[in-house]
Amino acid sequence: MRFLLLIISVLILCFSTASFAAEKEILIGLIPEENIFRQMDRYKPLSEYLTSRLGMKTRFTILSRYGDIIDRFITRNLDGAFFGAFTSVLAIEKLGVEPVVRPLNPDGTSSAEGYIFVRRDSNIKDIKDMKGKTIAFVDRATATGYIFALAYFKEHGIKNPLGYFREYYFTGSHDSALLSVLDGKADIGVAKNKIIKERFKKDPVMEQEILIIARSTALPDVTLCLSKKLDRSLKERIKDILLNMDKDPEGRKVLERLGALRFVAASKEDFSIVYNLLKKADIEIKTYKYR
């Protein structure tokens, strides 16, 4: 009988330890910025680094599409997510998340620009030539891949930007918008400069074939925002590890793989420029149908 009680006690202890361990896992979402295989390859070392430094399992999960991000944050009970400029604002407004850090790009900036681009041989030189053509956006819930372009067209006197084109569609990722134009599936593309530059670096032929027609102002780049439910001390630890990882040789390797020099602190105030952009695009964040 004693033996049986001992076994039961051990089993209970095991299960409670397991459930405790499960509770200790941190789950962070990633917006589908680029091809998911490439993106996972970039972020995997960071999850391993955080796991080892925090002493608790840290997992990254790529959210299927921009438009689902807020719903998925809630349903998957995420502890945080690397959001884009617009989705950060959306998450601040709808989920009360707190911007914590963002990566510093190799060019020394922590911002991103949106580009409107065409094939160099397309005979499209300006906004007038774009009338009646096909345009590829990234997603309705991206500042650099959609909203900036809406604001740009409206600023140039086009009251109904989507009606200005023969066809428009959303590619779901920034590199896909670039490839749509390169492959001749769309005449015009809208995407984030960082992803475009990365592709140009790997394949200089792409750079020769693409003409940038317009650029947005600098917008906050991908930002790690943490859930308001997460323990304050844990948030501070995560922030501290990320802000100091460039001082650690192992951390520097992880940053290199991520394509960043280091992490810098982020705050809600950084997003005032996004609110201005939304105003120019006539978008009311509370009622905007981003799905």
User: Which residues of this chain interact with other proteins, rule CB under 8 A?
Assistant: 35-38, 119, 121-123, 132-134, 166, 176, 179-187, 203-206, 209
H helices within 112-245, ranges in order?
148-155, 174-182, 193-202, 204-209, 232-244
Instruction: In angstroms, give the least distance from the CB of 67 to other proteins.
Output: 18
Ordered DSSP codes for 233-290: HHHHHHHHHHHHGGGSHHHHHHHHHHT-SEEEE--GGGGHHHHHHHHHTT--TTT---
d(CA 167, CA 103): 35
Tokens of 62: 């790529």
Which tokens belong to 155?
């600023």
Nearest CB to other proteins, comparing residues 171 and 227: 171
Closest to other proteins by CB, 38 vs 57, is: 38
Placement of tokens 């140009």 in the chain: 200
Smallest gap from Cβ 106 to other proteins, in A, equals 23
Task: Report in angstroms how near the CB of residue 188 gets to other proteins at its nearest.
Answer: 9
| Residue placing its CB nearer to other proteins in the complex, 102 or 119 | 119
Closer residue to other proteins in complex, CB, 155/183: 183
Residue whose CB is less far from other proteins, 209 or 248: 209
Least distance CB 129 / other proteins (angstroms): 11
**Separation CA 290–CA 11 (nearest Å):** 48
Q: How far is the CB of 196 from other proteins (least distance, A)?
A: 15
